[in-house]
Amino acid sequence: MRSGNKGKLENGDVPLPFRPTSTVESERFVKFCEKFLRVPKGTGAKSVFRPRDWQMDIVRDVLDSGARTVGIMQPRGSGKTTLNAAIALYAFFTWGEAANVVCVAVDERQAALLFNAARRMVELSEELSSRCYVYADKLVVPLTDSTFQVLPASPAALEGLEYVFAVVDEAGVVRRDVFEVVQLAQGKRERSVLVAMGTPGPSDDQVLLDLRNYHAEHPDDMSLRWREYSAAGFEDHPVDCRHCWTLSNPAMGDFLHEDAIVALLPPKTREATFRRARLCQFVTDTEGAFLPAEVWNGLSTGMPVPNRAEVVIALDGSFSDDTTALLVGTVSPEPHFDVVQVWERPDRKDTEYRVPVAEVEDAIRQCCRRWQVVEIIADPFRWTRTLQVLESEKLPVVEFPHSPARLTAATGDLYSAVINGRLSHSGDPKLAAHVGAAVIVEDTRGIRLSKKSRSRTAPKIDLAACLVMAHSRATWRATHKKRKKAVSFAA
């Protein structure tokens, strides 16, 4: 891939040799695919890109209907990214002067998925690549002054848009103000199309659902076309219902492999997530138990972490109201966990209670006498002083800020490890209680653990929070060769 403009293109001033006789846009698109486009990856990679019959229904919605907005609801793995990348390239190369194309999603990383599919298609075609500059986040055809680019998911950054074709990906979770800015930019061109695509999001307040509802209430409004492949309405059917799978997955048996769907059936993924991602059902109950019943108990060995083992220590601390917890985990691809200590308010009515910080710090030092500690992990919020004190003593402190991106990845990894039996624990009843009290909250920022209630009397989950951090760092340590020297004090 070119890193930038490095000179004149071989055919930069030569029009694309594409003059199909059909006046029907979707038929012209098929000819464009046959002549210039190759499958960028996956099943059939580098072969001619040939839209399936069911995909042509989407193509006709986008290119032949005259609609300004097209909503597409499809499950994961249905090829919607590749198909829309192909349509975008068709508009980019054939719709004349300044045929600008933009990709927007929840963030630039997500939007780049469609752009990267389009970029790879250009690179696989000598005719296209000889007329187009390829940059890391932008394509440019100098002959028509057309651009194809990824844009930040920020309303301020999107103001002043001018495009002939735009894609808003993950419309089930994208911010409403981002979508509206892109939608309102259409008035600047006589011809422009906005495609909003995705799977259902975790809440009732989502762009994709609004488009679906509007279409149902105003079927005669030709400015909006709606196309969905879903088992919506069959939420009472079991998740392994083949009827629902067929309704929602037209690519199954073609480039979507059924065994991949089977491999993700609950409890390997949560039922609500599976129904949204694979069946396109609007499941709004997104708060449920973190782990399926009995799964956690089945991982108990009844054994503590052996003395002198190489371990990480995780601290989830509070100042007054909440619980403070210490958890130990062995450094291993399949770690073993146990509770070190938990500090709790002895009486809920005791408003004077404060966590004994010095006692917590001393407990960490005792851990370093008992085990070979490679990391002491904590979110620095409210515990900055303690971490500084421990670090001044040459203890291996590692901060674990609770950012949405980091927690989403760590929580998902822990869930997968538990479901697939890739960890064990001592069977400590308090740890089991905290894990059992944890629920998953899912929003546009990702997934994270939470309490079932914000009430002061709600069961605590601090050891579960420790588990997320400890599992993330213990497995990372086990799979990376470079390690800080373990710290162990003489008894």
**What does 4-43 look like in DSSP terms, one character per residue?**
S--S--TTTTS--S---S---HHHHHHHHHHHH-B--SST
Instruction: With a cut of 70, say whether residue 482 has pLDDT above it.
Output: no
Looking at residue 457, what is its pLDDT?
A: 65
Rounded Cα–Cα distance for residues 383 and 161 (Å): 45
Instruction: With a cut of 90, say whether residue 310 has pLDDT above it.
Output: yes
Looking at residue 355, what is its pLDDT?
A: 83
Looking at residue 152, what is its pLDDT?
A: 84
By DSSP bridging, strand 101-104 and strand 324-330 are unpaired
Looking at residue 57, what is its pLDDT?
A: 97
Looking at residue 100, what is its pLDDT?
A: 96
What is the DSSP code (8-state) at residue 185? G
Looking at residue 420, what is its pLDDT?
A: 84
The pLDDT confidence band at residue 4, using thresholds 50, 70 and 90, is very low
The pLDDT confidence band at residue 205, using thresholds 50, 70 and 90, is confident
Mean pLDDT of 120-130: 96
* Residues 468/410, Cβ–Cβ less than 8 Å: yes
The pLDDT confidence band at residue 1, using thresholds 50, 70 and 90, is very low
The pLDDT confidence band at residue 288, using thresholds 50, 70 and 90, is low
Which domains does the chain carry?
25-229 (3.40.50.300), 297-479 (3.30.420.240)
Looking at residue 459, what is its pLDDT?
A: 80
The pLDDT confidence band at residue 443, using thresholds 50, 70 and 90, is low
| Type and span of the H or E element at 440 | strand 439-443
The pLDDT confidence band at residue 286, using thresholds 50, 70 and 90, is very low
- E-only strand ranges, 318-396: 324-330, 336-343, 372-378
Report the candidate in 410, 357, 407, 399 with the shortest Cα–Cα distance to residue 377: 399
Query: CA separation (Å) from 5 to 8, 92, 139, 307?
Result: 8, 19, 11, 60
Mean pLDDT of 208-233: 95
Over residues 271-284, the pLDDT tens digits come to 888 898 999 998 86
Over residues 214-225, the pLDDT tens digits come to 999 999 999 999
What is the DSSP code (8-state) at residue 416? H
* Helix-, strand-, coil-residue percentages of the chain, each rounded to 5: 35, 20, 45
Instruction: With a cut of 80, say whether residue 64 has pLDDT above it.
Output: yes
The pLDDT confidence band at residue 456, using thresholds 50, 70 and 90, is low
Mean pLDDT of 202-211: 87
Looking at residue 293, what is its pLDDT?
A: 57
Looking at residue 308, what is its pLDDT?
A: 96
Instruction: With a cut of 50, say whether residue 335 has pLDDT above it.
Output: yes
By DSSP bridging, strand 324-330 and strand 310-316 are antiparallel
Mean pLDDT of 322-329: 89
Instruction: With a cut of 60, say whether residue 2 has pLDDT above it.
Output: no
The pLDDT confidence band at residue 351, using thresholds 50, 70 and 90, is low
More confident residue, 129 or 458: 129
* Residues 141/150, Cβ–Cβ less than 8 Å: no
Instruction: With a cut of 70, say whether residue 344 has pLDDT above it.
Output: yes
Looking at residue 190, what is its pLDDT?
A: 85
What is the DSSP code (8-state) at residue 340? E
Looking at residue 401, what is its pLDDT?
A: 86
* Cβ burial 446-469 (10 Å sphere, 16+ → b, else e): bbbbbbeeeeeeeebbbbbbbbbb
To the nearest whole number, what is the mean pLDDT of the chain?
Answer: 88
Mean pLDDT of 38-53: 94
Looking at residue 483, what is its pLDDT?
A: 54
Over residues 235-256, the pLDDT tens digits come to 889 999 999 999 999 999 999 9
Rounded Cα–Cα distance for residues 100 and 85 (Å): 13
Mean pLDDT of 303-321: 87
* Residues 412/472, Cβ–Cβ less than 8 Å: no
Query: CA separation (Å) from 50 to 104, 158, 225, 252?
Result: 25, 33, 23, 16
